[in-house]
A and B are shown apart, each in its own frame.
Chain A
Amino acid sequence: MTSVAPAKLKHRVELTLDGKTVAAAEGATILDVCREQGIDVPTLCYLETLTPVNVCRVCVVELAGSRTLVPSCSRRVEEGMSVDTQSDRVRTSRRLVLELLASSVDLSLAGGSLSRWMEEYGAHPERFGPAADPTTGDERDRAHAGHHEIGNGLVANTVAQPAKRDNPQYVRDYSRCILCYKCVEACGEDAQNTFAIAVAGRGFDARISTEFNVGLPESACVYCGNCIGVCPTGALMFSSEFDLRSHGEWDEARQHVTRTVCPYCGVGCNLELHVQDNRIVKVTSPLDHDVTSGHLCVKGRFGFEFAQARKEPEQERPRAAR
């Protein structure tokens, strides 16, 4: 899938990609062309439905004439460009990006592609030393710009911290956050326009936060869950999934996905109901759906309890005697 609609494109440009001359649509990104050509370029902060922020730097490629590597997700093709996607410099930078992330963030739920890339690029995050003890309180949320505790260097500092659980709908486990900015974009201009969260702090203490780290109920959050929909590492997760996982009961082999249309209003958003043991455990929407682009509102995302409540009449509350 390309992020640029072919109908808008007027010209083709020619460039050299890994030694091969290829034609590409003007306005396409290097990543678009790589994907057209079947070249595997790892990406983490990139998503088709969001504006590229080019912060993870795992998609970098070598562009002839450029002093530094360039992010393929946002660099547009130009006539005569010569791009190398597999040079030593590219491979080193990609390996280091993966190593740096894996040494500081819990990537265990980041999916199959990530583990494949870790292997392909020979990433050994343990080189930076054993992980430091996780923080136990809100130390990371209170870090003041320009000041930090200096460790002894014998352990590698991480972002490990307690998960934030302040509402019934979803959990924020920032131990898994790679700071890809996707949730901020989905909450803000790229989808919901709610702006309940933003990046706060700086450097290694940078984090996703509400104002003064207030809980979501006190924030502007409207529980659309679009942040969960775009989170690539499981840092943002349905409470139902979080609970099943913490009890060791989450089992995708036992799940099936039912695609349906949201019953609440007339927009026609497609829902994917993830069902395990005949209970809805998660709701998503297809990224390529032309109505939603993967985004939903609170009703479609979380308003499914009615569908399963009637199956358990024994749990029905007794009517209050009047």
Chain B
Amino acid sequence: MDLKVNEAPPSTLERAAVDAVLGAPTSGWSGGDRGPLDGHVAFAGSRRAGRRRNLLLPVLRAVQDRAGWVSPQALGYICTCLDIPPAEAYGVASAYALISLEQRPSIVVHVCDDIACRAMTGDPGPELERRIGPEGSGGTVEWRRSPCLGSCEHGSAAFVQVAGATGWHATVAPCSPGDVAAMVAAGTSLDPELFAPTAALIPQARNDRTALRLLRRAGTGELESLDSYRAAGGYQALRRALELGPIGVIAELNEAKLLGRGGAAFPTGAKWEALARNPLRPHYFVANADESEPGTFKDRVLLETDPFGLVEALTIAGLTTGAEQGFVYVRGEYQLAAQRLLHAAEQARTRGLLGDDVMSSGLRFDLEVRKGAGAYIAGEETALFNSIEGRRPEPRNKPPYPVDRGLFGKPTGVNNVETLYCVLEVLTTGSQAFATTGTPASSGTRLFCLSGRVAEPGLYEVPLGTSLRALLKSAGGVRDGRPLRAVLLGGAAGSFVGPGELDLELSFEGVRTAGTTLGSGVVMVLDDTVDTLEVLTRIARFFRDESCGQCVPCRIGTQRQEELLSRLGRPTSSRALVEERALLADLGSVMRDASICGLGQTASSAVESALAKGLIAQDKEES
């Protein structure tokens, strides 16, 4: 492609960051020095163009990590190396919150101010403003508000992004405003050693582990060791899968009646079968670990505490569906999870459990870990494909569905992380055992992320069909015995359940009947001290910030929804509530019916359910 790029040379640091991912350029056509041959031979023909485009996000991240921002000359160098028009690369970079296109301090502390942490410890914003200054200030270290960081069980969290030749990231949870102020005071002498990860909270694992299925290994063995994983029963599922063969595995999944845990509850066996039968090649299989739904932390816990499990499960998925290449798309902020996963994959590779001859079966499968860069929308499966491909993380119109045309336009399977761990369970305990757990229509167990004003927050595993009341009871009920106001089920894209509905059966059919959703397994408890309107306003801001902006209903609808909620919080607004209700109903209707993807389709769900259940401040209701 005939590119016009910023030709100012990148700094040494920037060049090193790019070359570390792409390798040093081999000719003048791809960013290197112009040699005598380059004048005669064009290596930039159509066959080469775009072939490495999928490395765009990894390269942008690498530059961000070392230089602290992506400068015009760094972008120009990236575009020359990858043969991408700079306007497109800029469009991609500007869609991610963790990539900065303006110079900023080398240390940025992203402080979670989202609904779960807020419900537990309040909005950290005012105190941070008092101690440090407004968002974006802090000298050599700046603080910024962040959407949910997936550490909700700890009640407060911050993601520290440190740029430099040895740049690093870490999630700190819990993390009080005082801790953030200390980081700002430490400045560039901030020591990564101080950021030892806090163990995930799995309250059930403290006592009787026998009820645990998906979490059976969580936090038990030596995380670094494949041997301890195997000693704990690891790789039995893959062995069984190889015995059964693809048809047998799919039959097991169908008999187990496994439904996807990502939110849509699609039958996993049917998905795998459709992919396996698709004659087009190659096939790809993707594990969606871009967990970003506010209040959700289950995938993070699984990956941090049992990383080999995902490697094994994705291998089974690949071998069953004829995919030789797998991808794990891990949320950009999940540094520890990605690190442990990479380590597990490396171990598996050296032991012949990934690669050209998986477990001496003669079959080939390998996986690659890709990191996001701060975009909730990239968790939508088709936006995820675009993100991997180096395009803007915008959802695609469906049909065509991923099993027909997915990643790189090829047939692709995508499963949520929890679903893949369920596959291990089906294969190790057998489809019968799996199908008889839970309810007839919702088999197996489900992970629930308990957060907010609950006595024992953490990740819980219960059979599907357990009542909400029983689940809350196992977590010790509402903190300090206060009265329950509502439970937010399914996250920001979910809906509220009132205190009178605690007998709700937590199964796919149970929640469908009740007009709510299990979503990503969020159970966020709100007591009488929580300001519901503030929660709703934060949810509205979340969708306004995370909409990709592609379609009109979501791009402008989420903006109008945020404005509407700001008005509700202001007594000066002269509008009658009935008028606001009508406006919200219309916004909800167009977003639900006409948005391209699930983000827009559910963006008004929580707000509408709160209004329907009378959770908006009473004074507003009466006026």
A200 at the interface (CB under 8 A from B): yes
Find out whether the CB atom of B87 lies under 8 angstroms from the CB atom of A197: yes
A214 neighbours in B (Cβ, 8 Å): 72
Check B21 for interface membership: any CB of A closer than 8 A.
no
Interface size on B, residues (CB 8 A): 69
- CA–CA, A103 and B147, complex, Å: 28
Please state if B375 and A145 are interface contacts (CB–CB under 8 Å). yes
B609 within 8 A of A: no
Binding site secondary structure of chain A: loop
Of A54-62, A165-173, A286-294, the stretch lying at the interface with chain B is A54-62
Complex formed: what's the CA distance from A197 to B564 in Å?
33
Q: How far is the CA of A97 from the CA of B590 in the complex (A)?
A: 7
- CB contact list, A86-117 vs B, under 8 A: 89, 92-93, 96-97, 100-101, 103-104
Interface stretch of the complex, out of B234-242, B512-520, B544-552: B544-552
Q: Which residue of A lies closest to B393 (CB)?
A: A202
In the bound complex, CA of A202 to CA of B392 (Å)? 10
Option from A157, A188, A198 in Cβ contact (under 8 Å) with B559: A157
The answer to whether B566 and A153 touch across the interface, beta carbons within 8 angstroms, is yes
In angstroms, how far is the closest chain B Cβ from the Cβ of A156? Answer: 6
Q: Does A154 contact B (CB under 8 A)?
A: yes
List of B residues within 8 angstroms of A146 by Cβ: 97, 147, 374-375, 545-546
Check B96 for interface membership: any CB of A closer than 8 A: yes
Q: Assuming the A-B contacts A89-B589, A93-B594, A128-B583, are A103 and B547 also in contact, with contact meaning beta carbons closer than 8 angstroms in the complex?
A: no
Distance in angstroms from A217 CB to nearest chain B CB is 11
- Binary CB contact string for chain B from 512 to 549 against chain A (1 if under 8 A, 0 otherwise): 00000000000000000000000000000100111111
Q: Give the docked Cα–Cα distance between A203 and B595 (Å).
A: 13
Total A-B residue pairs with C-beta atoms closer than 8 Å?
208
Provide the residues of chain B in CB contact with A155, threshold 8 Å: 563
Q: A211: which of B89, B135, B374 is its contact (CB, 8 Å)? A: B89
Q: Is B185 an interface residue (CB 8 A)?
A: no
Whether a CB of chain A sits under 8 angstroms from the CB of B453 is no
- CB of A147 within 8 A of CB of B144, answer yes
Taking each of B374, B563, B564, B567, which has the highest tally of chain A beta carbons within 10 Å of its own beta carbon? B563
Contact of A58 among B90, B552, B566 (CB under 8 A): B552
**Once the chains are docked, how many angstroms separate the CA of A217 from the CA of B558?**
35
Residues on A with beta carbons closer than 8 Å to the beta carbon of B96: 145
Residue of B nearest to A105 (CB): B556
Whether a CB of chain A sits under 8 angstroms from the CB of B6 is yes
A97: chain B residues at CB < 8 Å are 552-553, 590, 594
Give which listed residue, A55, A103, A211, contacts B560 with CB less than 8 A: A103
CB within 8 A of B548: which of A103, A144, A195, A202?
A202
What per-residue 1/0 map shows which CB atoms of B156-178 lie under 8 Å from chain A? 00000000000000000000000
Q: Which residues of A contact B85 (CB under 8 A)?
A: 188, 194-196, 198, 220
- Report Cα–Cα, A69/B86, bound state, in Å: 35
Q: Which residues of A contact B97 (CB under 8 A)?
A: 144-147
How near does chain B come to A159, taking the closest CB pair, in angstroms? 9
Q: A93-B593, A128-B583, A201-B94 are in contact. Are A154 and B87 (CB under 8 A)?
A: no
Given known pairs A147-B97, A156-B560, A204-B544, the reply for A69 and B550 (CB within 8 Å) is no
Q: Do A93 and B590 have beta carbons less than 8 Å apart?
A: yes
What separation, in Å, do the CA atoms of A178 and B549 have in the docked complex?
Answer: 11
Within B61-95, which residues are at the interface with A (CB < 8 Å)?
A: 72, 75, 85-91, 94-95
Measured between beta carbons, the chain B residues less than 8 angstroms from A154 are 567, 570, 572-573
A60 to B552, CA, bound (A): 12
The 8 A CB mask of B89-114 against A (1 = contact, 0 = none) is: 11100111101111000000000000
The interface residues of chain B lying within 8 Å CB-to-CB of A232 are: none
Contact A153 B570 (CB under 8 A): yes
**A231, CB-defined interface residue at 8 Å:** no
Give bound CA distance, A153 to B544, whole Å: 13
Q: Are A55 and B90 in touch, CB under 8 angstroms? A: no
Q: Which residue of A lies closest to B135 (CB)?
A: A147
Contact bitstring A204-227, B, C-beta under 8 A = 1, else 0: 111001111010000110000000
CA distance in complex: A194, B392 (Å): 18
- A151, CB-defined interface residue at 8 Å: yes
Q: Which residues of B contact A92 (CB under 8 A)?
A: 586, 589-590, 593
Query: Which residues from A are CB-within-8-Å of B541?
Result: 150
Taking a contact as CB atoms under 8 Å apart, the answer to whether B595 and A57 are in contact is yes
Tell me whether B300 is interfacial, beta carbon within 8 Å: no
Q: Which 9 A-B pairs have the closest CB atoms?
A: A206-B549, A153-B566, A146-B97, A195-B85, A96-B590, A198-B91, A153-B567, A211-B86, A100-B556
Listed in ascending order, the chain B residues whose CB lies under 8 Å from chain A are 1, 3-4, 6, 72, 75, 85-91, 94-97, 99-102, 135, 144-145, 147, 374-375, 377, 392, 397, 541, 544-553, 555-560, 562-570, 572-573, 583, 586-587, 589-590, 592-596, 601
